[in-house]
Chains A and B, each alone.
Chain A
Amino acid sequence: MKINISKIIIFSFVTFFLSIFWLGLKKDNNYNTKNIIGNKISNFQLPSIYNNKFISEEDLKENKFTLINFFASWCAPCRAEHQYLLNLSNRNREIKILGINFKDKKNNAISFLNELGDPYNSVAEDIDGKASILFGIYGIPESILINEELVIIKKIVGPIDPKQYDEILQLIQ
Chain B
Amino acid sequence: MLSNIGEILVFLILASSFLIIYNAYIDIKIRNQVVKRMIYNLSLFQITFTILCFFTLIIGFVNSDFSLINVYENSHTTKPLFYKIAGTWGNHEGSLLLWINILVLFSFLFLVFNFKHNKKFRLYTLIIQNILIIGFIIFLLLNSNPFSLIYPVPFEGLGLNPILQDPALAIHPPLLYIGFVGCSIYFSAAMASMLSEYKGKEFALSIKSWVQISWCFQTLGITVGSIWAYYELGWGGFWFWDPVENASLLPWFAITALMHSVMVLEKRNSLYAWVIILCLLTFILSVTGTFLVRSGILNSVHTFASDPSRGIYILLFLGLMIFTSLIIFFKKYKKESYNFNLKTRETFILVNNWFMAFFLVTVLVGILYPIFLDVVADIKISVGPPFYNIVIIPLIVPFLFLMTVGPQFKWINSQKVKFYQTLFFFFGAVIINLFIYYFFGSYSILTNLIFIVAIFLILQCFLDAKQSMYKKKIFEYPRIISHFGFGLLILCIGINHQYSLEEDFNLQVGESKKINNYEIYFKNIKIEQNKNYQSVIGNFKLTDLKKNLIQYLNPEIRVYSDPETLTYEAAIKSKITSDFYLTMSNVSRSEYYNIKFQNKPFMIWIWISAFIIALGGFVQLMLKKNEN
CB–CB A25/B295 < 8 A: yes
How many angstroms between the C-alpha atoms of A77 and B593 in the bound complex? 10
Given contacts A10-B326, A76-B587, A77-B587, contact A21 B592 (CB under 8 A): no
Minimal Cβ-Cβ distance residue in B for A79 = B590
How close is B382's CB to chain A, nearest CB, in angstroms? 10
Interface stretch (choices B224-232, B369-377, B416-424, B458-466): B369-377
- The count of residues in chain B whose C-beta lies closer than 8 Å to any C-beta of chain A is 28
- The count of residues in chain A whose C-beta lies closer than 8 Å to any C-beta of chain B is 30
Chain B residues with Cβ under 8 A from A18's Cβ? 315, 318-319, 322
How close is A128's CB to chain B, nearest CB, in angstroms? 10
CB–CB B368/A130 < 8 A: no
CB–CB A76/B594 < 8 A: yes
Given contacts A14-B326, A20-B372, A32-B296, contact A25 B311 (CB under 8 A): yes
Chain A residues with Cβ under 8 A from B588's Cβ? 76-77, 80-81, 158-159, 161
Given contacts A7-B330, A14-B326, A21-B315, contact A27 B374 (CB under 8 A): yes
CB–CB B368/A17 < 8 A: yes
Given contacts A20-B375, A25-B297, contact A30 B587 (CB under 8 A): no
Q: Does B561 lie at the interface of the complex (its beta carbon under 8 Å from any beta carbon of A)?
A: no
CB–CB A21/B371 < 8 A: yes
Q: Does B256 lie at the interface of the complex (its beta carbon under 8 Å from any beta carbon of A)?
A: no
Residue in A11, A18, A20, A25 with the greatest tally of chain B CB atoms within 10 Å: A25
How close is A77's CB to chain B, nearest CB, in angstroms? 4
CB–CB B587/A25 < 8 A: no
CB–CB B330/A21 < 8 A: no
Chain B residues with Cβ under 8 A from A134's Cβ? 380
CB–CB A24/B318 < 8 A: no
Chain B residues with Cβ under 8 A from A80's Cβ? 587-590
CB–CB B312/A76 < 8 A: no
Q: Does A23 lie at the interface of the complex (its beta carbon under 8 Å from any beta carbon of B)?
A: yes
Q: Does A29 lie at the interface of the complex (its beta carbon under 8 Å from any beta carbon of B)?
A: yes
Q: 4 closest Cβ contacts across the A-B interface?
A: A76-B587, A80-B588, A80-B589, A23-B375
Known contacts A21-B295, A27-B374, A76-B506; 9 additional CB pairs below 8 A are A14-B323, A18-B322, A20-B368, A21-B291, A21-B315, A22-B315, A25-B297, A79-B590, A161-B588
Q: A: which residues have CB within 8 A of B?
A: 4, 7, 10-11, 14, 17-18, 20-27, 29-32, 76-77, 79-81, 130, 133-134, 158-159, 161
Can you report 17 residue pairs joining A to B where beta carbons are below 8 Å apart?
A: A14-B326, A18-B318, A21-B297, A21-B311, A21-B315, A25-B295, A25-B308, A29-B308, A31-B299, A32-B296, A76-B587, A76-B594, A77-B587, A79-B587, A79-B590, A159-B589, A161-B588
